[in-house]
Chains A and B, each alone.
Chain A
Amino acid sequence: MNPDPFDALGLPARHDLTDEQVRAAWRAVAAGTHPDRADGGDVARYTAATAAFAELRTPWGRSEALADLAAASGDTSPLPLIAAADPWAADPWAADPSAADPSAAGPFSAGSATRPGRGGLRQLPARIWRGRRRRLVIRALAAAVLSWTALRLVPGQPAGPAAVAGLITWLLLTGRRDLAPPPGQ
């Protein structure tokens, strides 16, 4: 049996695959490797794909296979954190390059080997990107403009830095809710 049934079908090891995606992948592999083909096909690959399809055709089967993959890697917890989808990728399956290679995670990947829900600043870019970034930008711009204005209005006065401190506090307090939740939460 193939140790990675997802690999046998050329699919990423993701829990959000649908039955249709699995069936389509199997058909594609089967059409190219079937023994009845004029070129004789690829019996080993066809067999592996058929076995993998039998395993992955239901959500529960995929759940089992994913859990076994995780168990095989010796990992119990924490799971690595990776962005669910690359915002620039048209192909949803290509959105998860880190499923095959964690180092190839997207530009705002939260990194790997980080405890879920934690990771602090390393997760921040991904959380901003996945959150309401337009609002965040507007908030940040407003805070920056007001800070600049305050500093220009009262140069050299303690009220200037105080206004900046107040605006930073406001930005931190109100901007939190526009961030995407940390992974696993």
Chain B
Amino acid sequence: MSVWSWIKLTVCLWLLRKAARITGWLLAVVLAVAAWPLTLVAAAGYVTAWLQGWPPVRLFRAAAWSLPATAVWLAGLALRGSAWQSAAVAPGHAWTRRWGYLAIPGLARTFVLVAPVAVPAGLAVAGVVWAWRIYAITTGLGGITASAPIIFDARQWRHQVRAARDRNAAPGAAPLLASGGKIPVGGTIRAIGHRWHPVFTIPAAACARHMVVVGSTGSGKTNLMIRLWAGWFTAALSAARAGRGQRPLLIVLDCKGGRDARTKANRTRRLLYGAGARRVAIWPDEAGLCLWDLPPADLAVVLYQMIDTGTGNAAYYADILQAVLNLAVAAPPGPPLSTAGFLDRLEARWLTRAWDDGRHPAEADRIRAAARHLPDIQLRYATLLGRLGPALDGPGALADADAWYCILEGTREPSVAQAQAMALTELAAYTATNLAGEQRAILLAADDYSAVSGRVPLSNLYERGRSLGIGVQVSAQSWQGLGATEDERYRIAGTADGGIWVMSTPHPEPLTALAGHRRVLETAHKLIGNTWGDEGTTREQQAWTADPDLIRRLQVGQACYIHHGAATFVQVARPRPSPLTLLPPPASGSSPVQVPAPRREAEPGSQSGSQPNPVPASLDDVFGPGGTP
């Protein structure tokens, strides 16, 4: 073969390929023009999906929602033709007849005539084309330049964020509670593995399990948490009103404290009032709790844990401390009812009067043995309880309110806040297990718990909540804030069966690893000069389900929800109560506000023996202080 022949053959082949391609394009154009109403709808759908960053499923749903109009059209045709056969062939008739309308300037009329078929079909076609476009770009099959996938993804992210923000701006898009008891969180930016919905929702039951929120300062963590609290409260209250659940009790531990905490508390309170809460207490500013309500055994343990005891030689004194606490709390007159009463008991004289009745010789011996240590123990507890302040000295119980916002000054006074956190956790546990009281659906939320996790690690709180059957939600500013050791952090994150929320944070890899990887296709092209050749390979690769780099770049209010090996990026909507609020009705009768009467401490010589609970003040009033009738 001569060179000239080879050149002619090559040119012919090239021309043939180009001709085939041009013919294909021409055919497509002819088809598009012939079916111009469908093309118009498909083009509009495609452009809208591109601009809004929709996934293809959004177009398919739109097509499905336009089918009622098609049904009306078919029903109309059937009624006119009085036969189902006419209805069956009606789309074809309309398709062929429409050419007659092109002759007149009534293009709009033509469009209306075929719209019942063209709209759903066009939207479906747009969905298919858009899905192909996404596939082609992300796998490297499409695009003009090598950077096309990166540019496409970045652009789509911007579009998706903008659309999610627009959705959040609508007042009814993200209420506190959606149908089916789901909690709307905000506009969906991108869903990977999860089903896509315009507004991302999580089931209220997810909040009733264990949930972790990680985000650095200024990432919008507070907004997200308040929304989740209010959503859970609203869902639980609705369920209780419908007779499908217990009344909710929300306990929030704001472990950092400070002025911001008061602002957050007031915001939470306003939101909960709007959701139907009647009593929302802010502790310790406005309401108190009574540590002394705890059962004696638990009370002794909490009081013991509140004090730093040390190890080594100090263990000897720790044992003495524990023995004295048991003697003071389990004394025959019953447990102490106040700080003053408890401190009184840490005197040898009181303990001796209480126990040295001839029936408790062993206890009396212990008191004599520990007598010289009692002033020290009393001093330590007087100091500790004095620093804790009156807010744990009652009156008041967690069950008195619908929600408690507890502010712990973990930044300013870490040791005090740690002791308070311990006491509050114990009170929450008591409320959950107290069979005498009303059973409540409880969510214990600890914001920045790491600030007070010195003596009770977060994993302990977590496991405690699990054993008690209450929901626990914890937040931290970083992965490291979740626990002291890597093992503890993984234990917390790995057992978060309610899901993990990751907001902007510098080290999200350990959390995103829990979402796992997904299989993606990676196409390599052979380059000829500066352009792609027509050869290449495609291979399967693994990619992050929740991309850590994307999480690092999240802006304020954007979050990634990781659950069941899938991830959804959300633009969190600022929680607002409905402007149509719930207000209590006007008073119809006399109901003075009941203020709990101060309780009186039992005398050391008195015996309550078999009576486990303290003597009520009302009985004291009737029978005089210091004993049962």
Chain B 171-194 residues near chain A, CB threshold 8 A: 171-173, 175-177
Determine the distance from Cα of A131 to Cα of B580 in the docked complex, in whole angstroms.
10
Across the interface, do A75 and B585 meet the contact criterion of CB distance under 8 Å? yes
Residues in A whose Cβ lies below 8 Å from that of B583: 13-15, 79-80, 82, 84, 96, 98-99
Q: Using an 8 Å CB-CB cutoff, how does the interface string of B437-471 with A read, 1 for contact, 0 for none?
A: 00000000000000000000000000000000000
Contact mask for chain A residues 100-116; partner B; CB cutoff 8 A; 1 contact, 0 none: 11100000001010011
Of all chain B residues, the one with the shortest Cβ separation from A119 is: B580
Report which of A1, A75, A159 forms a contact with B112, defined as CB distance below 8 A: A159
Say whether, besides A153-B106, A159-B115, A166-B66, A63 and B281 are in contact (CB < 8 Å).
yes
Any A CB within 8 A of the CB of B624: no
The verdict on A66 contacting chain B, using a C-beta distance below 8 Å, is: yes
**CB < 8 Å: which of B70, B173, B270, B578 contacts A183?**
B578
A65 to chain B, nearest CB (A): 6
CB-CB under 8 A for A165 and B72, given A59-B266, A59-B269, A72-B589: yes
- Residue in contact with B69 in the complex, picked from A100, A166, A177, CB distance below 8 Å: A166
Q: Could you tell me the distance between the alpha carbons of A67 and B109 in the complex, rounded to whole angstroms?
A: 62
Pairwise interchain contact A154-B109, C-beta atoms closer than 8 A = yes
Q: Give B624 Cβ to nearest chain A Cβ, in Å.
A: 27
Separation in Å of the A147 CB from the closest CB of chain B? 11
Segment from B272-280, B296-304, B478-486, B610-618 that makes contact with A: B272-280
Instruction: Tell me if A42 is interfacial: C-beta within 8 Å of chain B.
Output: no
Distance to closest chain A CB from B285 (angstroms): 8
Q: Is the CB of A84 within 8 A of B177?
A: no
Query: Are B280 and A63 touching (Cβ within 8 A)?
Result: yes
Chain A residues whose C-beta falls within 8 Å of the C-beta of B585 in the assembled complex: 69-70, 73, 75, 79-80, 102, 112
Of the candidates B112, B177, B240, B587, which one forms a contact with A3 in the assembled complex, judged by CB atoms under 8 Å apart?
B587
1/0 contact trace for B53-77 toward A, CB 8 Å? 0000000000001101110111111
- Given A59-B286, A162-B70, also A185-B586 (CB < 8 A): no
Q: Which residues of A contact B269 (CB under 8 A)?
A: 59, 63
Asked whether B579 is an interface residue with its Cβ less than 8 Å from the other chain, the reply is yes
Pairwise interchain contact B588-A180, C-beta atoms closer than 8 A: no
Question: When chains A and B are docked, how far (Å) is the Cα of A44 from the Cα of B360?
Answer: 58
Let me know if B276 and A16 touch, CB within 8 A: no
Chain B 511-552 per-residue mask, 1 if CB under 8 angstroms from chain A, else 0: 000000000000000000000000000000000000000000
> How many residues of chain B get a CB closer than 8 Å to chain A's CBs?
67
Contact of B241 with A73 in the complex, beta carbons under 8 Å: no
Q: Are A85 and B579 in contact (CB under 8 A)?
A: yes
Flag if B112 contacts A116 (CB, 8 Å). no
Are the C-beta atoms of A72 and B580 separated by less than 8 Å?
no
Partner of B176, one of A4, A66, A153, A185: A185
Determine which of B65, B241, B286 lies in contact with A78 in the assembled complex, contact meaning CB atoms within 8 Å: B241
Give chain B residues whose Cβ lies under 8 Å from the Cβ of A79.
276, 582-585
- What is the bound-complex CA distance between A73 and B273, given in angstroms? 18
CB pair B586 A73 closer than 8 Å: yes
Given contacts A116-B238, A166-B69, contact A158 B76 (CB under 8 A): yes
* Cβ–Cβ contact A169 & B171, under 8 A: no
A162:B278 contact, CB within 8 angstroms: no
CB distance from A13 to the nearest CB of B (A): 6
A173 within 8 Å of B (CB atoms): yes
Is A83 at the interface (CB under 8 A from chain B)? yes
Residues in A neighbouring B65, C-beta threshold 8 A: 169, 173
CA distance A63 to B106 in the complex (A): 66
Cβ of B581 under 8 Å from chain A: yes
Residues of A within 8 A of B586 (CB): 4, 13, 69, 73, 99-102
Separation in Å of the A1 CB from the closest CB of chain B?
4
Scan A143-185; emit 1 where CB is below 8 A from any B CB, else 0.
Answer: 0000001100110011111110110010001001111111111
Residue interface bits B217-244, CB-to-A below 8 A is 1, else 0: 0000000000000000010011011000
Interface residues of B in 87-143 (CB under 8 A from A): 94, 106, 108-109, 112-116, 119
Which residue of chain A lies nearest to B593 when distances are taken between CB atoms in the complex?
Answer: A68
Q: Which residues of B contact A166 (CB under 8 A)?
A: 66, 68-69, 115-116, 119
Point out the residues of chain B lying under 8 angstroms from A159, CB to CB.
73, 76, 94, 112-116
Q: State A117–B594 Cα separation when bound (angstroms).
A: 31
CA distance A177 to B80 in the complex (A): 37
Q: A157-B113, A179-B171 are in contact. Are A73 and B266 (CB under 8 A)?
A: no
CB of A58 within 8 Å of the partner chain: yes
What A residues does B589 contact at CB under 8 A? 3, 72-73
Interface-centre pick from A68, A163, A181 (highest chain B CB count, 10 A): A181
Closest to B584 in A: A70
Contact A162 to B238, CB < 8 A, known contacts A69-B586, A82-B581: no
Asked whether B348 is an interface residue with its Cβ less than 8 Å from the other chain, the reply is no
Query: Which of B80, B119, B175, B279 makes the CB contact (< 8 A) with A63?
Result: B279
Which residue of chain B has the shortest Cβ distance to A160 in the bound complex? B112
Most B CB within 10 A of own CB, among A14, A59, A96: A59
Q: Is A22 in contact with chain B by the CB < 8 A criterion?
A: no
Given A80-B585, A117-B238: A158 and B580 interface contact (C-beta under 8 Å): no
- Knowing A79-B583, A177-B167 are in contact, say whether A165-B69 is a contact too (CB < 8 A): yes
Who on chain B is nearest to A115 by CB? Answer: B241
Complex Cα spacing A7 to B590, Å:
13
Chain A residues positioned under 8 Å from B79 (CB to CB): 158
Q: A75-B585, A159-B116 are in contact. Are A180 and B172 (CB under 8 A)?
A: yes
Identify which of residues 69-96 in chain A touch chain B, using a CB-to-CB cut-off of 8 Å.
Answer: 69-75, 77-85, 96
Decide if A34 is an interface residue (CB 8 Å cutoff): no
Q: How far is the CA of A48 from the CA of B590 in the complex (A)?
A: 14
| Bound-complex Cα distance A55 to B112 (A) | 67
Q: Which of A96, A116, A127, A150 has the most CB of B within 10 A?
A: A116
Given A3-B587, A72-B589, CB of A163 within 8 Å of CB of B580:
no
Is the pair B593, A1 in contact by a Cβ cutoff of 8 Å?
A: yes
B311 contacts partner chain A, Cβ-Cβ < 8 Å: no
Q: A60-B282, A71-B591, A158-B74 are in contact. List 12 more A-B contacts (CB 8 A).
A: A3-B590, A58-B286, A64-B279, A68-B594, A72-B589, A79-B583, A117-B238, A126-B580, A177-B171, A184-B234, A184-B274, A185-B177
Interface pairs (15), CB distance under 8 Å: A3-B592, A14-B583, A64-B593, A68-B593, A73-B587, A153-B106, A158-B73, A158-B79, A162-B76, A166-B116, A180-B171, A180-B580, A181-B176, A181-B578, A184-B238
